[in-house]
Amino acid sequence: MNSNTVIEISGAERQQWEPENEHDFELTRQRPIFQKIAYPPRISLNGLLLVLLSTLLLIASGFMTVQIPSPLGMFSGPVKPMMSYTFQLPLALFLATLLGPFMGSAVILLFLGVGLLAFPVFANGGGLQYILQPGFGYLLGMLFIAYPLSKRFHKAFQKQDNTSRSLKILGQALVAVLLVHLVGIVYLIGLSVAQQIPLGDLGGWILRLSIENVPYDFVATGILLCLIRQVRLALWLVLY
């Protein structure tokens, strides 16, 4: 679509998109197409189809791993210890933000429902007994953080300056990743208290699931969130 395309907006719709005050969403000075992509997509049939496709993509991402150097071994010498990494957490936060608070949260909720009640779509299986797995708390963390992240993300578009907007988005990415890992760590502690994992193994699980992953999760999430504007433009006809 040509970047100079002008989208006709009705009177009622124009009122809906206009900011409440001069400090809120200064996008009225931009072209309408850029004004609209600053807001979450509407819930529609196309949006629901995207929810299904996004859920399948999220499932697939859990089974695709890459071998990357462990952050803990960056200064260990010429031979760097490697770790298996999956982009599922950054992808989940990206989809939740791209599709908006409701459809984005629906993707993660559907993913969890399928894994717990239907098919073994999680990395280590599925079924209701999966709630006792050490990594399940991180899946819950993605669900809990998806809605507030998506709600707050769109406030970054009130920044006209690209640098200010990007810094704000990166800050939100860092907070979101840390909160997901906080939920996961609390869940691990709960499993240890419930004697589902040995207390002596608790530190190892936290090291493996959080400390090693946080730097990569932050970088990947930050990059993906900064691309949402471009992705929404590419999917304009589907999302809006």
For residues 100 and 146, give the distance between their C-alpha atoms in angstroms, rounded to a whole number: 9
Distance from chain centroid for Cα 31: 28
Residue pair 174/152 in contact (Cβ under 8 Å)? The answer is: no
Whether 146 maps to a domain, the answer reads yes
Determine the average pLDDT of the residues in 27-34. 51
Whether 22 maps to a domain, the answer reads no
Domain count, the chain: 1
Looking at mean pLDDT, say which of 66-70, 124-128, 221-225 comes out highest: 221-225
pLDDT at 58 over 60: yes
The region of weakest confidence among 6-15, 87-96, 176-185 is: 6-15
Whether 10 maps to a domain, the answer reads no
Beta bridge partners of residue 84, listed in sequence order: 67
Angle CA 101–19–7, to nearest 5? 80
Domain that holds residue 225: 32-239
Determine the average pLDDT of the residues in 14-19. 44
Whether 3 maps to a domain, the answer reads no
For residues 39 and 18, give the distance between their C-alpha atoms in angstroms, rounded to a whole number: 11
Whether 15 maps to a domain, the answer reads no
Q: What is the pLDDT of residues 67-77, one digit of tens each?
A: 988 887 765 66
pLDDT at 14: 42
Whether 12 maps to a domain, the answer reads no
DSSP secondary structure, the chain, as one string: --TT------HHHHHHHS-SSTTS-GGGGS-HHHHHTTSPPPP-HHHHHHHHHHHHHHHHHTT-EEEEE-GGGTTS-SSPPEEEEE-HHHHHHHHHHHSHHHHHHHHHHHHHHHHHHT---BTTB-SGGGGGSTTHHHHHHHHHHHHHHHHHHGGGGG--SHHHHHHHHHHHHHHHHHHHHHHHHHHHHHHHHTTSS-GGGHHHHHIIIIITTHHHHHHHHHHHHHTHHHHHHHTHHHH-
Determine the average pLDDT of the residues in 159-184. 84
pLDDT at 23: 45
Neighbours of 119 (CB within 10 A): 11
pLDDT at 135: 92
Task: Give me the CATH number covering residue 104.
Answer: 1.10.1760.20
Provide the CB-side half-sphere exposure for 52 (13 A, CA).
5
Write down the pTM of the prediction.
0.80
Whether 91 maps to a domain, the answer reads yes
For residues 59 and 76, give the distance between their C-alpha atoms in angstroms, rounded to a whole number: 34
Whether 18 maps to a domain, the answer reads no
pLDDT at 79: 66
pLDDT at 126 over 50: yes
